[in-house]
Amino acid sequence: MATIMDKEMIAVDAPSFEEIKERLLAAGVETVRLEYIDILGVNRGKILPIEMLEDMFEDGIAFCAAIMAIGYDNDVSDVEGLSSYNYDDFKVMPDPTKVFLLPYQEKTALILGDIYYHGEKMKQSPRWFLKNMIEEYRKLGYDPIAASEMEFFLFNKDGQGEMKPYTNETGNCYTSNVRIDPKDFFKELTKTLKGLDFNVLYMNHEFYSGQYEYNWKHAPALRAADETAIFKGICKDLAEQKDMVATFMGRPKNDNGGSGCHFHFSLNDLATGKNAFDDPTQPQGMSKVMRHFVAGVLKHAPALVAFLAPTINCYKRFLPDSFAPYYIGWGYDNRTTFVRIPGERGRATRAEIRAGSAASNPYLALASILAAGLDGIKNELEPPAIVTTDLYNDASLERKVVPKSLFRALRELEADEWMCQMAGKDLINNFVAVKNHEVDAFINYVTDWEWDFYSYHV
């Protein structure tokens, strides 16, 4: 079957179209959701009858390219590199390795796809950015391995437009009783993820009321990103079915904290199959390549924050003593730092980047971290001195604050030549244009805080 899809990008063990068709028909599938992830990290797609399966795999499905320039408010930004004057099409080609039967939607399958624009891999596509970074590491003999820790809040709808936390009591962190899941939401969610063969480790109630976390096993970086992205959509689906709302906002309410997404990284040596970050002969069991990777991440941290915390709201969680990074630094099993090195060694040797927000686009987050680490590895950069104290409160240290707003983070990104080169000008222009629109919209919006703070006295 001839398609515009690049054959070298398809896994060797990918099922054929006939195998996929046979599987879906045997399962009684009548409807297919063909989805992709846009620049914001939103799951987009079209719903097709099963009869369109062959057309989907043969020619792809067309979408208006302007969707890559659309903001949360539905306004379309002017993006250089997209033909906004005539709103032409891109096509989504299904990835034959990403076909999922959805147990919570009757006779429905979800297929994840890649975006092609004018017959070429779309340069603005976050998934292609990640694939490109993986290929750069493979050229050096490494396979990037990643895992995510995704936090989010779950709210009950009360029928009057108000939302209350799914669990509305304090002190539930790491509790596992029936009271943290009275509607069996997480029982159903975990069963769904298991049925999809997702690489999930476990879940737990987090620190704030109604806040939860899912942790993934380490896996090849593309699988880690795909499952994290689809997970967010599935959470929202299941919550809607139970008259609830799942949100991955950086900080949804004033009276609770923020939701992060910590990303764990290591590199497998393609020649030996061993973890290239592990070296018992080096200090702290960390290989030189691991030190170089960490050095690259810290060097580009200010620019990385734009991808790791991509909304206005995300910056409400960058506070001292919040377990979200406030200063840029690294430490051994130190949760006050930007980069934490957990204590496990051997195959579990890894770096944890803690600046990610749950609102981040997992493809942009993982790809940009890999891009930063690549600079460190290629140029053999060395990280600064390790932080062995509380980075939030040790004033004796030379401390650089993370960008404290989306506006500042975007300027750091635009000024970072290496990051712009790795992501490509088309993706950078697209991302920055949409996010600049978001910043402008916020600046011009009068908030409740302003009325409450000023109206009486001013």
Mean pLDDT by 10 residues, the chain (458 residues): 44 84 96 97 97 96 94 91 76 97 95 96 97 98 97 90 88 91 93 93 92 95 97 96 95 89 97 97 96 98 98 93 92 95 95 97 98 98 96 92 97 98 97 97 94 95
397 vs 14: CA distance, rounded Å: 51
Q: Coil, strand or helix: which one is 70?
A: strand
- The DSSP code for 68 is G
63 vs 91: CA distance, rounded Å: 6
Of 142, 127, 57, whose CA–CA distance to 94 is shortest?
Answer: 57
| Burial label, 205 (beta-carbon count in 10 A; 0-12, 13-18, 19+) | buried
**Within a domain: 241:** yes
Residues 89 and 110 occupy one common structural domain: yes
**Within a domain: 333:** yes
- Find all residues with CB under 8 Å of 451, minimum gap 6, and list them: none
Provide the residue range defining the domain that includes 40.
7-122
pLDDT at 3: 46
**Within a domain: 40:** yes
Structural domain count of the chain: 2
Residues 36 and 166 occupy one common structural domain: no
Q: How many CB atoms lie within 10 A of CB 381?
A: 18
Integer CA distances (angstroms), 327 to 237, 258, 294, in order: 36, 17, 15
pLDDT at 14: 86
Integer CA distances (angstroms), 111 to 53, 66, 130, in order: 10, 22, 19
Helix H segments across 300-424? 301-308, 362-378, 406-415, 417-423
Residues 116 and 42 occupy one common structural domain: yes
- Find all residues with CB under 8 Å of 208, minimum gap 6, and list them: 153, 165, 256, 257
Integer CA distances (angstroms), 32 to 85, 95, 105, in order: 31, 13, 11
41 vs 362: CA distance, rounded Å: 7
Q: pTM, whole model, 2 decimals?
A: 0.95
Domain final residue, candidates 70, 102, 122: 122
> Is there a contact between 199 and 216 (Cβ–Cβ < 8 Å)?
yes
